[in-house]
Each structure stands twice: as structure tokens, then as C-alpha cells.
Structure 1
Amino acid sequence: MPVTDVTTDPENLTLTILADFAAPVERVWTAYSDPRQLERFWGPPGWPATFTAFDHTVGGIAQYRLDGPRGEKSSGRWEFTRIEAPTLFEVLDSFVDNAGEPIAEFPAMRMTLEFSPTAEGTRMVGTSHFESAEALEQVVAMGVIEGTKMAMSQLDTVLQDLRDYAQGKGTRIELLDDTHVRITRLVEGPRDLVWRAHYEPQLMRQWLLGPDGWEMTECTVATEPGQTYRSSWAPVGDTPGQAFGFEGEALLVSAPRRAVTTEKMQGTDGPVTLNDLNLYEEDGATLITLLVEYPDLATRDMILATGMVDGMEASYARMEDLVLA
């Protein structure tokens, strides 16, 4: 992970984050000064950022919101007070309401980000200055440290060419914490078509099959929040195994970028997982990212032990061969 150290200093009213990146200063600066790139890592997994305004000049304003998987929203605003490209910028960072006005009960902070070259790439020192020890304690209690670490763990993907980062590496899994897993797979094809492959039954039946020897026997999709879906599979011929299926509800659908659904085995009370699907396209290839939230560690390990990731890889390979080709 890029974050190597976090220090809170109640005496000097600061929170300092140290991070190292395997990329030159100019490349890291671009990631922080381009709102479309910022959106890919500013929010932690499950809370992607959307910048609705970005005036990267002294006195300019950047406005953003973070959208949680269950419809939660949090919004912030930067006022740029100092810019020295490509090594430093400083903002007044505030929590804001739906109208973009600062929320009085949440502390504002002055945040300085400094970028310097190292033998391996770039070191970033981010220092947030608070008006009181109570304000510092409040932000720490809100989980800012953990959220920042998880958010910046996504930056390696942004700093590399997408194909350099993921091509030929198959389906990869990252254990983010006891209840969150991130699964990624690069496929050769445009995002719009990858989205259709996830939401059009005639396409889903071609690839969403897991290992060879299975067929999809039921496919009801949910294309709007509040709708329910059902998917069932059964072995073909002499293939061993028993028929099974999943069902759930769509919580968020933002085509062709993101969809959040619940999931559980058909005919059971659970366990229920939260599946957060994100699609990002670059130069004709699409990175599929699935963030899965489990109710507890035991459930996470039980489900992963079923060979789920191997089945996903077989399906994604079939998607490339049969649908995207």
C-alpha cells in the first residue's frame, strides 16, 4: 500500500500522512490535479468520488461528493489557497451540505500536499492542520485515517497504464479487511458492452457460467434500485454438482459505471453479501472491479474457499471469447 506512516500530533494540531509511489513526481501531480483521475481514488472502496466542480487555480473551488453503497452521501469542498506545480498544493478542506455550504458541526482543516522525488519514485507528505485538539479527535474518530489508507491503496492502478497494471494477470483478489474483498479483472472490450454483458440475459447466458459443464437456467435482472433479480445454474449431462441460484435486490444502478446489489443463496435467509460492481474503460479495455462486503470474517473465508474466484476467471475468459470478441 502507498501509505507508509500516519502521525497525529495533538500538540501541533496536525495529522500527517506519508505515502510512497512508484511513479515520477509529474505523474503523481497529474493524478491529483485531474478530477477524472482523482475520482478513481479519492474516496475509499465502496465510496467513489464524483467531482462536480474543479477550478485548479489559487482561489478556485473544487466540489465533490462520495456515494456510499447503500445510498449514503458525503460531500466536501476544497478552496485552493496555494499551488506550486508539480510539488505542492494547499487547500481549505470543508465538509459541506447538499447546497455546497460548510457544515458547522464538522471541522474544516487546512490540507497541504507536498510531492518530492525519491530513488523509487515519489514521496507524498500530506499534512492537515486543525483549529483545535477536539477537531482533530473528531476527524480521527470518523475513520479518516482508515479511509485514507484504503482510498490511496487504489492509486497504483491510476498511476499505471491500465494494461500494464492488469493485462494477462487474470482475476485477482485482495483482502482489504476482515469483511471486504476487492476482485479485479481486465477484459478487452468497451465499457458499454461489458455493462450489457452483465445486464442483458441473452448475453449473460453465454458467459456467466463458471466452470465448463454448467448452464444458466434462470436469469431475471434488476435494472433499477428496488428491483430484485434471480440467477440459477444447473450441471449439464454428466457434470457433477447440484443446481443452485442467487437472488437479491438492486440498491444502486448507474449505467454503465456502477451497480450495487445484495446477494444470497436462493431459498435461504443468508448470509447476505453486498456486491459493488464498478467498470472503468481506458483505451478500449475495461477494468472490472467487484467490491464484496461480507457480514463477518468466517463468512468471507467460507465463501472464498468454495473456489469462487476460479469460477469467476472461467466466466470472464468466456466473456472475452464469446461476447466481447
Structure 2
Amino acid sequence: MLLKIGGRKMKTQVKGNQLIIERTLLVSQERLFQAFTTSEELENWWGPEGWQTKNKRFEFEPGGHWHYCMKCEDQAQGDFYGMESWGLGQFKEIHAPEKFSYQDMFSDEEGNVNTDLPAMEIEVEFIPADGGTKYVATTTLDSAEALEKMLEMGMVEGFNSQMNRLEQYLAK
């Protein structure tokens, strides 16, 4: 699937239980890595448009945790307005500024994992490209069925919206 965004394209591909997302942004590898790995910066763009993220805990190191809340602040989003979505990540490998990996899970405010929703293993790569950096995220779930559940929940659309926010943030 190819989504056109602001003149650039976000490429998504499903391979069994994996979702691969690619997009080139017009910033250096180091700058893009920083936007993904600094708590204050993540709070400025993480989450779909109309949502605000607050980090309760952010330890960017192997074994460190990222506990965050996304809250819908856009009244035009109807029933989603005021809704909170909590997540808990655990960083695994970090190779600055080329890549990092983490496990991402749905949680509650206290950090208890919601086992009704699938956990995701995510590897994020930052590859120098002409005039910028290619972002490649490979998200692996336990099964193709679990991935299908996440796709039905709007995973690609939400991520597309989030990448728009990132691009706008980096342009400032």
C-alpha cells in the first residue's frame, strides 16, 4: 500500500505477522533519531493528529521503560474526545543513530499490561537517503491474526497521521 503524504509517500507492506512502514523525511539521520529518542520531543508529535502525548516515564537505554499516555483533545473526533490510551514500551537494543528496538504494549495508568491486546516487537531504522533519512519501522506481532486485529483498529491510518505531525514538527 502506498499513501501519498505532503508530496512524499509512506510505503506500507504486510508480510505474514509483520507490518513494514517506510517514509523518507528531509532531515539528517541524527536529527530524526533525536526526535524519536528524546522524551520532550516525543511529547510534541507522538500520536495521531488531535491527540497529545505525555510521558510518565522515559528511560532511553537497553532495558529502560517508556510509559506514556495519548489523550484526544480534538472535540471534532466525537466519541474519541477525552479518551486516553496508555502504552508501555521496553527498549531492547540501541545503536545510535542507526536504529533501536523495543516492545510496545497497551497498558493502564499504573503500567499494568493489557493482555487482551497484542504486544508488538518494533525495530526502527534510520537510513541516510538523498536529501534526508529513510525511516523504516518493522512491527512484528505473534501472529498474522493479531496483526490483522491491529490493522482493523486503524494502526496504519493512525501512524500516517502521526508521521504527518512529525514532519510538521521537524519543519519548525
TM-score, normalised to structure 1's length?
Answer: 0.48
Q: Which residue of 2 aligns with 1:15?
A: 19
- Equivalents in 1 of 2:105, 2:26: separation in Å? 30
- Equivalents in 2 of 1:136, 1:18: separation in Å? 17
Matched, 1:6 2:3: no
2:71–2:84 contact (8 Å) kept in structure 1: yes
AA partner of residue 110 (structure 2): A
Shift of 1:158: 2.2
Give the 3 Å change call, closer, same or farther, for CA 120–22 of structure 1 in structure 2: same
Deviation per CA, 1:122-173: give whole Å up to 9, x if none: 001100011011110111011010000011111122223x3xxxxxxxxxxx
Matches within 5 A, 1:275-286: none
Q: Which residue of 2 aligns with 1:89?
A: 100
Q: Which residue of 1 aligns with 2:109?
A: 98
Matches within 5 A, 1:159-178: 159-160=170-171, 162=172
2:10–2:160 contact (8 Å) kept in structure 1: no
- Equivalents in 1 of 2:101, 2:15: separation in Å? 19
1:90–1:112 contact (8 Å) kept in structure 2: yes
Equivalent of 2:156 in 133, 138, 145: 145
Name which structure has the greater RCO, CA cutoff 8 Å, separation 6+: 2
Secondary structure, aligned partner of 2:51? coil
Q: Which residue of 2 aligns with 1:41?
A: 45
Instruction: Mark the runs of 5 or more structure 2 residues left unpaired by the alignment.
Output: 74-80
Tell me which structure has the larger Cα radius of gyration.
1
Q: Which residue of 2 aligns with 1:57?
A: 61
1:3–1:149 contact (8 Å) kept in structure 2: no
Following TM superposition, the consecutive aligned residue runs of length 4 or more in structure 1 with deviations greater than 3 angstroms are none
Cα RMSD between the aligned structures?
A: 1.2
Instruction: Mark the runs of 5 or more structure 1 residues left unpaired by the alignment.
Output: 163-325
AA partner of residue 5 (structure 1): K
Count of equivalent residues:
159
Q: Which residue of 2 aligns with 1:133?
A: 144
AA partner of residue 18 (structure 1): E
- Equivalents in 1 of 2:148, 2:10: separation in Å? 21
TM-score, normalised to structure 2's length?
Answer: 0.88
